[in-house]
Amino acid sequence: MPTRIVVVAAAIITVAAIVLVRGLHSQSSGDKLVEPAAPPSAAVPHKPGTFLGVYTAGVPESWAGVKAFTATTGVRPGVVLYYSGWMERFQAHFAAVAAKHDAVPLVQINPTGISIAAIASGHYDDYLRSYASEVKAFGGRVILSFGHEMNGHWYSWGYRHTSPAVFVAAWRHIVTVFRKVGARNVTWLWTVNVMHPSGGIPSPARWWPGGSYVNWVGIDGYYHKKSWEFAPLFGPTIKAIRALTLDPILISETAAPVAVDQPAKIANLFAGVRAYGLLGFVWFDVNKKRYWRVNSPEAFAAFRRGVQMLKRSAS
């Protein structure tokens, strides 16, 4: 009996955590964007496996890459990612285009070369208030992430460059500023890199800002080798995150190059999302250092089969 109680309680907690996600999608009618009726925490949840996203060349200036991705893979992305430098304005026009296509913009704000301590101390509050006001005025759902992959060592805000305590202080300060402005249409995505301790990528636990400042968790990870599979690639990081929070998890940046049997890795990615009960994934469809773009009939077919599998699982 005690074991049954623990299991039931865990299930209830998990469902409660997923309830946070439902308010993310703002539907559009014709050309008019609809103001969300309630904050995310007050709405009905989306099921795991329902968020398939993409990053393509040309965004946020153009939707053409997203349109081409949909045409070849059969995926109408529910999330479209773009990267924003510090001091850049919110791309409201792109967000409106995304909303018309029933997609939510995911903005990775990269404070390259910026003092994270200065952000935490309020030095950039005028910029943050302006950005928050633009997001609020847009009205539709927006996913925001700041300083992604901070447990990696390749960015100025990350491991070995900025202390975890300073990063946490900056994250909390940014969220607090947005809340004071009244930008209630933001889903805060805390984005980490897959762990690889022997390779200098530690557990992200030290950078955790606390459950009051995060709605979703994002994990970035790529299939660099043919032998890599979802469970060993993402599993240890998912376990580390689950020790911190039950917030919904999105694979926020991923891909597999042609050389590692891309169709098989796409199938493995869909299967992993379903097996772990994750929100979905965002495919990095841009060739950068390696050939990440989906570019073969077999890969296109793998995407279509994956989408159908998730639809059957959700029904």
Domain boundaries, the chain: 2-314
**41 to 21, 36, 38, 71, 138: CA distances (angstroms):** 7, 12, 8, 34, 19
Question: What pLDDT is recorded for position 129?
Answer: 98
Question: What pLDDT is recorded for position 48?
Answer: 76
Cα end-to-end distance, the chain, whole Å: 31
Question: What pLDDT is recorded for position 3?
Answer: 40
**Residue 21: which of 194, 211, 188, 191 has the closest Cα?**
188
**223 to 134, 227, 234, 238, 255: CA distances (angstroms):** 36, 9, 10, 16, 6
Domain 2-314 sits in CATH at: 3.20.20.80
Question: What pLDDT is recorded for position 312?
Answer: 86
Kindly report the length of the chain: 315
Measured over the CA atoms of residue 258, residue 70, residue 148 and residue 24, the dihedral's sign is negative
Do residues 250 and 280 make contact, with C-beta atoms less than 8 angstroms apart?
yes
Q: What is the mean pLDDT of each run of 10 residues along the chain (315 residues)?
A: 40 38 35 33 52 97 97 94 98 98 98 98 98 98 98 98 98 98 97 96 98 97 97 98 97 97 98 97 94 95 94 80
**Residue 255: which of 215, 216, 302 has the closest Cα?**
302
Question: What pLDDT is recorded for position 190?
Answer: 98
